Structure 1
Amino acid sequence: MGNWVKLICGASFEDVADIRNLSLVYTLAGVDCIDCAADASVLNAVNDGIEAAQAILPIRRPWVMISVNDGEDLHFRKAEFDPDDCPPDCSRPCENVCPADAIFSNSGKAGPSKGVLAERCYGCGRCLPICPYDNIRAITYVRDVAATAKLIQRDEVDAIEIHTSGRQAESFQQLWNGLGDSIHKLRLVAVSLPYLGDLTIPAMDSMYATMKTSLHCLNLWQLDGRPMSGDIGRGATREAIKFALHLASLEDKPKGFLQLAGGTNAHTVEGLKKERLFRTTSISDDSKGEKVPLDSPETSHALISGVAFGGYARKIVGRVLSSLQSDYGYARLEDHPDHLLKALQASLALVGTVKCYNAN
């Protein structure tokens, strides 16, 4: 690793048409992994998009990751409200603030006048405080561990990501044990956790102790700085970089690669460079006096091995997908070369901030 890039489709995002086209575009852009909801239809959409990309170019297949949670988590919730409770003259600020276009109005057409498209909502929560009538609520859920284990048994799943608060050791252990022998089919296990201050390393140590006896693949720690905020602007990435800077300064931490998420966008790598955290070619002496790569899992030196892009990655390509839908309805992106080119240019510009680092 060192220039690893992951596309986050969203642990709760289930719009299979968009997911299929996003997977197509970002496979062509060269991502290493695509992270999606632990749902069979979503998984099929991701793999369909990857296969469509490979039909265009003989490109390497990215790893496919599914996301689960061991308890209540921001990434595993949906907004919900009853349109009948909304006054007719409401200005619908919720619709304007939704980054996923999941809240809609349907005035003058058949069907409900307003509502939430559950498959598009990925739980950012921006609509919750802005409703002037306090009508919107969040519905949380936990992915079923038995169903997840069955999904992992499929050949299309390469990795799993466990979202955790880091404060519930028993819940994490129950989830891990519930996955059973399916873990042995994986190439990577990732754990996504928030910054817990002085409790961060003890929490990581506890989770690693739970995993290590049956962990026969790579492991990765996803540092979730400011969840689902990358599309907001330059400042959103600061907390992710601050989290990385803190963790990278510590030598006594469990094995595993470090990856940034939560607020990541086109400014993230620039911020990492300023902190001298994003290095891929440096080497350092190990305890035996031998030279080892800084991105080796055996080293304790500071290095961020990769970046995961979620909301921002979906936003920049989503503009093209919205235009495609407006012009042609739900369509295969590769059937419309002009739209495909625009989407690919946007995705390459983002992925290139990581992949082209050594060329700078």
Structure 2
Amino acid sequence: MALSFYCYASFKTRLQVTAQLNHGNNKGLEKVKNLVTKTGVPSITTSPHESLQRGNWVKLICGASFEDVVDIRNLSLVYTLAGVDCIDCAADASVVSAVNEGIEAAIGIVPVRRPWVMISVNDDEDLHFRKAEFDPNDCPPDCSRPCEIVCPANAISLENTSSLVKGGVVTERCYGCGRCFPVCPYDRIRTNTYVRDATATAELLKRDDVDAVEIHTSGRRTAMFEELWNGLGDSVSYLRLVAVSLPDIGEPTISLMNTMYSIMEPNLRCFNLWQLDGRPMSGDIGRGATREAIAFAVRLAAAKDKPHGFLQLAGGTNAHTVQGLRAERLFQTTTISSTSLILPLPFLLIFLPVLI
């Protein structure tokens, strides 16, 4: 299958290129240029709009709470070279600037298509918008520090005294995955949740280098969603895509999605997308999380009254997902139909969408 092979090759190249970039800015970029000259980059002729309609949309997720601008710049550079359609990042001005710096650096290496830049926000408490926090002075000296071992972002820093470290955690690197919470033998790690400010988000959306927004919502309280949407005001008219990420809450899910669409529709001037978050922040857990994500997709694909927009599978997508989608006959690569959904791969969300 050509699409999945291309993305796998891009993932391997990412590892090589990121290693080169970490050697330093100017020297690293020169090494990247040499690597690109040797290996080449994909020739992408379609626009992100066309990718949505054709069903070969590719999105890089930096993380709604991940704010390490150096890593974000490097990831954006690498995936722009790989030909992604969209880069999803935190709704923070410095992070958005880092993404665009990476994009410009990539374009400076070789003429490539510019991806859309998407920022992620929330209307209420959400797993994607939290940070771990603890006081390292409360940790017993003989603790084996399992939190350091399980942290995928290397954000636990019991000895670092930098101003970037808050309560034993490098806040810019922590993206709220929650893996450290259950492994602490002394139950000392806390959760610090937050909600992105609608006014500040609206200003970001008016920037020339921001193209899309993803709104994370629980789906249970449409009043909160409506308050955020109204708070964004006319800033949504600047956008190319509005995405809404929500978990499966059972029978009311589709009805609530239609209610949210009715809230958006009067001011919606672009494509819209629904991110079906089967089990949020659980992509690396295994088959159980995958089954939940696929069950969500199956129900939405079969529904007669599903809301207008593209469908994207998330929250539990991992190496087992393609097999599960094939078993449900939802996975295809050559045509687009009312059951077309997502092909997920490491660090990317790739999907075969349908506009209802």
For the criterion TM > 0.5, the same-fold answer is: yes
TM-superposed CA distance for 1:99, in Å, is: 1.3
| Aligned: 1:269 with 2:322 | yes
Scaled by the length of structure 2, the TM-score of the pair is: 0.78
SS at structure 1 position matched to 2:274: strand
Out of 270, 275, 279, the position equivalent to 1:222 is 275
Percent identity over the alignment is 70
d(CA) in 1 for partners of 2:293, 2:103: 29
Higher relative contact order (CA 8 A, sep 6+): 1
Is contact 1:105–1:113 with CA below 8 Å preserved after alignment?
A: no
Shift of residue 198, structure 1, vs aligned partner: 0.4
**Aligned residue among 242, 259, 264 for 2:312:** 259
Closer, same or farther: CA 237–52 of 1 in aligned 2, 3 Å: farther
Does the CA contact (< 8 Å) of 1:83 and 1:113 recur in 2? no
Q: Deviations over 1:251-295 (max 9, x none)?
A: 21110000111122344334323322133544xxxxxxxxxx63x
Query: 2:356 aligned with 1:303, yes or no?
Result: no
Q: Which residues of structure 1 form unaligned runs of 5+?
A: 283-292, 295-300, 314-349, 356-360
Q: 1:37 is matched with which residue? A: 90
CA 119–127 in structure 1, closer or farther in 2 if over 3 Å, else same: same
Amino acid at match of 2:113: R
2:133 and 2:166 in contact (8 A); partners too:
no
Residue 178 of structure 1 deviates from its aligned partner by: 0.4
- Of 158, 174, 186, the residue aligned with 1:121 is 174
Distance 1:68 1:137, change over 3 A: same
Q: Is the counterpart of residue 7 in structure 1 residue 60 in structure 2? A: yes
Residue type matched to 1:222 in 2? Q
1:342 aligned partner: none
Change (3 A) 1:237 1:252: same
Pick closer, same or farther for the CA change 1:113–1:5 going to 2, 3 Å: closer
Rounded Cα–Cα distance in structure 2 between residues aligned with 1:234 and 1:35: 25
Superposition CA RMSD, Å: 2.3
Match of 1:321 in 2: none
How many angstroms apart in 1 are the aligned matches of 2:89 and 2:236? Answer: 17
**CA contact under 8 A between 2:331 and 2:343: conserved in structure 1?**
no
C-alpha distance after superposition, 1:33-69 (max 9, x if no partner):
1100000000011111111111222111111100000
Please, which moves more after superposition, 213-222 or 45-54? 45-54
Runs of 4+ deviating beyond 6 Å:
109-114
Cα distance change on mapping 1:17 and 1:308 into 2, 3 Å: farther
CA contact (8 A) 2:133 2:167 kept: no
Do structure 1's residue 247 and structure 2's residue 300 form an aligned pair?
Answer: yes
The 5 Å alignment of 1:308-347 reads 312-313=346-347
Change (3 A) 1:211 1:67: same
Any unmatched runs of 5+ in structure 2? 1-51
How is 1:167-206 mapped onto 2 (pairs within 5 angstroms)?
167-206=220-259
In structure 1, how many angstroms separate the alpha carbons of the residues matched to 2:264 and 2:167?
Answer: 45
Amino acid at match of 1:237: T
Instruction: Name the SS for the 2:180 alignment partner.
Output: coil
Amino acid at match of 1:227: P
Aligned position for 1:81? 134
Give the partner amino acid of 1:210: I
The residue identity in structure 2 corresponding to 1:157 is: V
Deviation at 1:134, TM superposition (A): 1.2
Is the Cα–Cα contact under 8 Å of residues 274 and 310 in structure 2 kept in the other structure? Answer: yes
Match of 1:46 in 2: 99
Alpha-carbon separation, structure 2, partners of 1:183 and 1:114: 37
- Report the 3-state secondary structure (helix = DSSP H, G, I; strand = E; otherwise coil) of the residue aligned with 1:20: helix
- Equivalent in the alignment of 2:206: 153
**Aligned residues between the structures:** 298
- Amino acid corresponding to residue 13 of structure 1 in structure 2: F
Mapped contact 1:162–1:190 kept (Cα < 8 A): yes
Shift of the 7–205 alpha-carbon distance from structure 1 to 2, 3 Å rule, reads same
Instruction: Pick from 77, 100, 105 the counterpart of residue 153 of structure 2.
Output: 100
Kept after mapping to 2: 8 A contact 1:259/1:308: no
TM-fit CA distance, 1:308:
6.3
CA distance in 1, matches of 2:78, 2:117: 15
